[in-house]
């Protein structure tokens, strides 16, 4: 069974990374808002991992949204003040009704 529109009760914001030359051979990076949508956000696992010689908790999430074009794994999600890195995007049942997104919170950036 697939998702239902009535289950999409949480607001999430997608952001895209922009890179501009810094004039010294490098790049300046900034995040800009792409779109904000209704979603169903479900934590799927929690664990700890070592990053930069520190133990950090991470939580993975399954996110369901209505189908839309233009999303990529290069984007990130803002959800309730937290940043989630997108690891995968797939169409539910290979149809154009909903998208399933696998994302992780607590990933070092």
CATH number, domain at 73? Answer: 2.40.10.270
What contacts 25, CB < 8 A, 6 or more positions away? none
Q: In this predicted model, what pLDDT tens digit does every residue of 2-59 receive, in sequence order?
A: 678 899 999 999 999 998 888 898 889 999 999 999 999 999 987 766 656 667 678 8
Does the CA dihedral 37-43-60-108 come out positive or negative?
positive
Predicted confidence at residue 92, as pLDDT, reads: 78
pLDDT at 109 over 60: no
Report the domain count for the chain.
1
Which residues form the domain of 23?
Answer: 5-105
Residue 60 · residue 102 · CB < 8 Å: yes
Predicted confidence at residue 4, as pLDDT, reads: 87
Predicted confidence at residue 94, as pLDDT, reads: 76
């Amino acid at each position: 069974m697939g998702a239902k529109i009535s289950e999409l009760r949480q607001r999430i914001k997608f952001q895209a990374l922009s890179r501009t030359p810094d004039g010294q051979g490098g790049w300046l990076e900034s995040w800009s808002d792409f779109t904000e949508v209704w979603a169903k956000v479900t934590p799927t696992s929690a664990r700890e991992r070592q990053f930069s010689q520190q133990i950090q908790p991470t939580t993975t999430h399954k996110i369901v949204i209505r189908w839309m074009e233009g999303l990529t794994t290069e984007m990130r999600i803002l959800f309730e003040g937290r940043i989630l890195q997108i690891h995968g995007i797939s169409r539910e049942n290979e149809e154009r009704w909903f998208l399933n997104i696998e994302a992780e919170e607590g990933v070092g950036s």
